[in-house]
Amino acid sequence: MLVEAEKIWNLKDVIFLGASLDEKATRKNVPEFIRKFSVTFPVWLGAGPDDLAKLGMGEAVPDTAFLDQDGIIFARVRGEIRKAELEERLNWITGDRTAPAPQALVIHLDK
C-alpha cells in the first residue's frame, strides 16, 4: 500500500521513508524485500530502539509517523495502517488545513 501511495503522493512533494529494525542476522534480507515489493523510497537500514526513542516513537512495528514541513510529528498510526487513515492524513497535510486535523494517534495493536 505504501509503495502505491508513494507513486501518487511524491508528485505532491510528500516524502516516504522506511526504517528497517532488522537485527544484523536478518538485515541481509532487506534488499530482497525491497526488490520483491518494488520499494522506491529510501529505507533506513540498522535503525534501533534508541533511534526510535530519539524520534519520539515507540517500539511498535509497524509504526507510521507523519511529519510536517518542520519535521514535527503531527500524527501516528501504531500497528498496521489502513488506506483510509493514510489518505486522510496525507490529504490534510497537503491541503489548506482548515479542516480539523486527523486523530493524532491511532493504535492498531493486539493487547
pTM listed for this prediction: 0.86
Over residues 2-22, the pLDDT tens digits come to 999 999 999 999 999 998 888
Per-residue 3-state assignment (H helix, E strand, C coil) for the chain: CHHHHHHHHHHHCCCCCEECCCCHHHHCCHHHHHHHCCCCCCEECCCCHHHHHHCCCCCCCCEEEEECCCCCEEEEEEECCCHHHHHHHHHHHHCCCCCCCCCCEEEECCC
Over residues 27-57, the pLDDT tens digits come to 999 999 999 999 999 999 988 888 888 877 7
